[in-house]
Amino acid sequence: LFNTTEDVTTAGPVVTERNFIDRIRYSALNDPTSANAWRQDLNAGRLDLGTRDPIIGVALIQDRLIISCNKSTWMLVDTGNPDLPFNAQRIDNQLGVESINSIINFDKQTIGFGTNGIHQCNGTNVDRIDGNIPDQIFQVSNTNQGPTRVAGIRDYFTEEAYWAYPDSGVTVPDSDVYPNRILVYNYKTSSWSQNDDSITAFGSYLNPTNVTWEELMVSWEQDNDAWNDAEDQPLFSSIVAGNQEGFTFIVKNDEPRNPLGLQITTMTIAGN
């Protein structure tokens, strides 16, 4: 468990909750849901980084567990000692990840949104990968919990990564509360692009059946699909997205439009 909230006895019988932002807790062996699994006198334990830098998220690179803090990056190492089974080694003391749901796993690295760049960690080093768009990360809105609203996912079919984020540079009032932009990273060509859309969460979807013409929401003239498109085959792993109003939809990279995914709540007709 990382960045734990625990009951703490403060005075007499009074028990309050306290957040240990840089703490790692591990259970005893076997079933972690058993009643005594987390008792420190029965082989469970804890490890504090001692930095007061909050743990934001974790990700696996093969057999290495990468710990992303707000302004630093660590790796959890198996010591082989049953009394002290884990040790935390600092990889970088300046670069970390600010947005928990921005962390995307790749084969040999993890990528996430930090306070001053989009950072890549390979288990040895942490580097910025957004040198071609160095100012873009500073457009992420810091109000309305903007950094925690960033969401990312990897699209294996298009070989791209998507991040939805609230852009503070949008001039429409209150439009930066929820994500209003999609940053796209083509990791084969190391190129970037941006889309205008509202997405708060990403996931994956396996359609168990073929897509038929009857199920399509567009006319023959508007549709870009071929009969044998891989995306329309059974059990193709599609990227599914959702927004703040509860609409969900499948992301198709070749559609030149946004989905009909946000309702119009107010309309004023002036004159004719």
Place of tokens 């083509």: 186
Q: 64-69 and 201-206: which strand pairing? A: unpaired
**Residue 223's pLDDT is what?**
72
DSSP-assigned letters across all residues of 134-177: TTGGGGB--STTGGGG-EEEEETTTTEEEEEE-BTT--STTTTS
pTM for this model (two decimals): 0.86
Q: Are strands 64-69 and 73-78 parallel, antiparallel or unpaired?
A: antiparallel
User: What is the rounded distance in angstroms from the CA atom of residue 185 to the CA atom of residue 154?
Assistant: 9
pLDDT for res 8: 86
pLDDT in tens, the chain (272 residues): 999 999 887 777 888 899 999 999 999 988 999 999 999 888 899 999 999 999 999 999 988 899 999 999 999 999 989 888 999 999 999 999 999 999 999 989 999 999 999 999 999 999 999 999 999 999 999 999 999 999 999 999 999 999 999 999 887 777 778 999 999 999 999 999 999 999 999 999 988 887 777 777 777 777 777 767 777 778 888 999 999 999 999 998 877 888 888 888 788 888 87
Provide the pLDDT for residue 227: 67
How far apart are the C-alpha atoms of 14 and 253, rounded to whole Å?
A: 56
d(CA 141, CA 50): 29
Question: Is there a contact between 137 and 183 (Cβ–Cβ < 8 Å)?
Answer: no
Report the DSSP beta bridge partners of residue 239.
204, 251
- pLDDT on residue 254: 79
> What percent of the residues of the chain are helix, what percent strand, and what percent coil, each to the nearest 5?
5, 40, 55
Residue 88 near residue 24 (C-beta atoms within 8 A): yes
